[in-house]
Chains A and B, each alone.
Chain A
């Protein structure tokens, strides 16, 4: 029974093997068949997503190759279009072709994607792109699409992305909301007068999520308008325009026109945008697919900063000249809307006492050109000119300007401070307006003396030269002029030192020399100070110098002793020189170096023995020392 079982198991195993082998062969055969069938059915398609887009936006051009094990694509080229960020994907999937037949095969799909952008609006056709799949050449069908206008200036920014100076602005057809940044200037009125100060609102929009840094304050383009004032800190808020969220910056300011005529009003600003860099490989477009993949670009921080110039759309402003008809005589260029308030004090003084007239103009307008109101009547008054006034800005183009003027009543019986008047041009009413104050009642007392208001005369000593040369009285020649001359200090009789021109002191050579000497002193002091510090840090330098000096003295003494054969002096200098030198070397005071010290030190050094004869010959005749010296 056990044997039958064994025989059965053997047959069974053999049958199983045969079945497995045949199944394997079938699989291999079917795979071969499927592969052959697939190779014979390579499909190449191309499409653009989306098929319509605006200038400044981008679309994806995708080439799909099905049924090929390997494929490669050329970079598409079409005039007016730019292709960037090539990417390649590769996928395999099991395809069941009909459930009844149980036919299954593995389908390979390769996709090549490109970012497409257009420089200008229009209809485009991306021509056939050459594909090399499994060694055979294929081509895509032409893809036709349309690019709508809307972001014409954006392409300039992209073109200059590597450097500064790109322009991100608005399109002439008003498609500004499609840009990632744009500006708008909104003057209060588009019909203004030359010299009129017009408030305006200025807005800069940046698409939400952009990282933008402002590099300059907004400025007016051209020379037709002058920026009078602008907020230093703009107001920031989020705004939604046509479904897109923008971060907006809002400035309030005022401007004025320079000359009449129709002038374009544009405002611009420099900013820096942090954007993803686009690397374009010139050879195989898929050579750096890994790094150019957006996922890796994000991880690797593949961002670049680029400078852009944001400009607003041109706004035509009509600048009118001020009418000459009915122009008041006292009109001095004030344009706007004003009100006048006048206060005078003191009002109960005497004749000759000054009265201060305070005048305040409120409203909106070109306060820089507003001059003080003028008195309508000045008979009986000595009128001093009013000051230039102080302007106080109240915001939103409004302000106030205050003037003070001194008046002196010089006649008795004046009952009131005369009215003052101020003329301006009202641009809303388009006419000149003259404001006049009411007379201010005055109660003057009689003056103490008649000389209170007499002009001060300054009669100085007449110079010697003038007295010598003077033949006529100046007052006889020209009374009015001589009166002025009499109020002045007299002429200078000395000519003084003549110089070719009025030259500031710093341009004079002697002063420059003086300063150079001072500078050299400072420099020398610095050098000496550094040297002293170096010596203080290392006293041995100084000691070496001292020893060298003393040695030189001893050598000189020895030389002097030689001709006169002064043995005693020679011996003393010689021993002293040896003591100085050995003391320096051994770090001992020269006086402490004796024959005993020599013996102790030289016991350890065989070379020192050479000096013993020198020392011992101190008592010998001097002539035998010549060789040593």
Chain B
């Protein structure tokens, strides 16, 4: 016994309409997406071209020995188009060549936040610090281990391990036998990596709160008042950790362990 609820041609029509709609949607959506992406890319490309032109001009100024003008050119790119690690690095080089240790260290540190493993940045920073006599006390083994990677790198490893942990846990619920055992080991390994890399990431992110002394002949004072007794000098380029504010002064602890009140305009935060 054969029972046809709908006539065949009607069914064909319905399917045809459904197919047409699907085809239309599948064509329009990627097209719109492509248009959006391409317009965004074009706009971004134009911006990048302008920034690149200014960047090259600044590089020329640097090679001409016009370090201060080069620094100003780099700064104008940053204020207009944003920052990149090479841009900050070149800016820092300009300041270093112009003999401005504080801004040089500040921009090297900023560049390291974007690419912490760059050997040029690390080398130049070390050179500038050495020339300026900005020595640091011997770091503990734990600190040296933590400083092997940047904060973002530690966090990236932790994030990947966490993702791997989630994925392997999900797969382990469906796998059986040998595969499941391997996934269990992968889960344990991922968890171990997460636990090992999160604390260094946390410690390294604390370094993002540091500041750099910009002005030469900066004095620490024992209390947050203009006429307070001096508590010692602090060199330009010294890394400091702001603790609390009072008026125009900030209580800081320098990387050397020295502590005192410092005028707000004497330093700038690295991650500002």
Contact = CB atoms under 8 A, between A and B. Distances in A.
Interface of A: 194-195, 256, 258-259, 321-322, 332-333, 368-369, 371, 384-385, 387-388, 458, 460, 462-463, 465-466, 469-478, 480-482, 484-485, 487-502, 504-506, 511, 514-515, 517-522, 524-526, 528-529, 532, 562-563
B259 to A, nearest CB: 6
B103 to A, nearest CB: 14
Contacts of B1: 562-563
Given A195-B222, A388-B256, A495-B86, A518 B165 contact: yes
Contacts of A488: 93, 96-97, 124, 127-128
Nearest to A383: B133
B169 A522 contact: yes
B65 A495 contact: no
Contact of A388 (B89, B208, B258, B271): B258
A485 B256 contact: no
Contacts of B2: 563
Interface stretch (B15-23, B28-36, B228-236): B228-236
B229 A195 contact: yes
A611 B39 CA distance: 74
B215 interface: no
B195 interface: no
B239 to A, nearest CB: 13
Closest 6 CB pairs of A and B: A477-B65, A521-B166, A492-B86, A469-B60, A388-B256, A496-B84
30 contacts: A332-B233, A333-B229, A333-B232, A369-B232, A388-B258, A458-B123, A481-B67, A481-B99, A485-B96, A488-B97, A490-B120, A491-B62, A492-B85, A494-B86, A495-B86, A496-B84, A496-B85, A497-B84, A498-B82, A499-B83, A501-B82, A501-B83, A502-B114, A504-B271, A514-B163, A515-B159, A521-B166, A522-B169, A525-B173, A528-B170
Interface string B59-83: 1101111110000000000000111
B172 A492 contact: no
Nearest to A368: B259
Contacts of B123: 458, 489
Nearest to B261: A258
B232 A504 contact: no
Contacts of B173: 525, 528-529, 532
Contact of B163 (A463, A492, A518): A518
B216 to A, nearest CB: 15
B137 A502 contact: no
Contact of A499 (B84, B124, B152): B84
Contacts of B152: 504-505
Contacts of A477: 64-66
A463 B222 contact: no
Contacts of B9: none
A8 B64 CA distance: 158
Given A470-B63, A492-B90, A522-B169, 13 more contacts: A195-B231, A259-B223, A259-B228, A388-B256, A469-B57, A469-B60, A477-B65, A482-B65, A495-B52, A499-B84, A514-B159, A515-B162, A515-B163
A475 B137 contact: no
Interface of B: 1-2, 47-48, 51-52, 55-57, 59-60, 62-67, 81-87, 89-90, 93, 96-99, 110, 113-114, 120, 123-124, 127-128, 131, 133, 135, 137, 151-152, 155-156, 159, 162-163, 165-167, 169-170, 172-174, 205, 208, 222-223, 225, 228-233, 254, 256-260, 271
B60 A495 contact: no
The secondary structure that dominates the B interface is helix
A321 B170 CA distance: 70
A387 B155 contact: no
Contact of B124 (A489, A498, A528): A489
A490 B93 CA distance: 8
A437 to B, nearest CB: 21
Contacts of B159: 505, 511, 514-515, 518
Contacts of B271: 502, 504
A258 B222 contact: yes
A371 B220 CA distance: 12
Contacts of A475: 65
A332 B232 contact: yes
B221 to A, nearest CB: 9
A326 B43 CA distance: 67
A321 B98 CA distance: 40
A194 B223 contact: yes
B167 A521 contact: yes
A5 to B, nearest CB: 117
A498 B51 contact: yes
A502 B156 contact: no
A495 B64 contact: no
A194 B166 contact: no
A494 B98 CA distance: 22
Nearest to A425: B229
A522 B96 contact: no
Contact of B166 (A322, A490, A505, A518): A518
A610 B97 CA distance: 103
Q: Looking at B47, B223, B256, which has the most chain A CB atoms within 10 Å of its CB? A: B223
B113 A470 contact: no
B122 to A, nearest CB: 9
B166 A499 contact: no
A317 to B, nearest CB: 15
Given A498-B82, A511-B159, A505 B151 contact: yes
Given A471-B64, A489-B123, A495-B86, A369 B170 contact: no
Contact of A371 (B127, B133, B232): B232
Given A491-B90, A496-B86, A504-B151, A528 B64 contact: no
B109 to A, nearest CB: 10
B158 to A, nearest CB: 10
Contacts of A519: 166
Given A472-B65, A514-B163, A387 B169 contact: no
A142 B103 CA distance: 83
A471 B65 CA distance: 10
Contacts of B259: 368
A496 B170 contact: no
Given A259-B225, A498-B81, A522 B165 contact: yes
B129 to A, nearest CB: 11
Nearest to A404: B137
A400 to B, nearest CB: 16
A484 to B, nearest CB: 5
A458 B119 CA distance: 14
B82 A521 contact: no
Nearest to A455: B131
B99 A480 contact: yes
A498 B230 contact: no
B155 A505 contact: yes
A494 to B, nearest CB: 6
A562 B2 CA distance: 9
Contacts of B137: 387-388
Contacts of B81: 498
Contacts of B174: 528
A246 to B, nearest CB: 36
A476 B65 contact: yes
Given A258-B222, A333-B230, A472 B63 contact: yes
Nearest to A532: B173
A468 to B, nearest CB: 8
Contact of B228 (A194, A485, A500, A502): A194
A171 B223 CA distance: 32
B229 A484 contact: no
Contacts of A524: 170
Contacts of A333: 222, 229-232
Contacts of A529: 173
A621 B52 CA distance: 88
Contacts of A259: 223, 225, 228
Given A472-B64, A482-B65, A502 B110 contact: yes
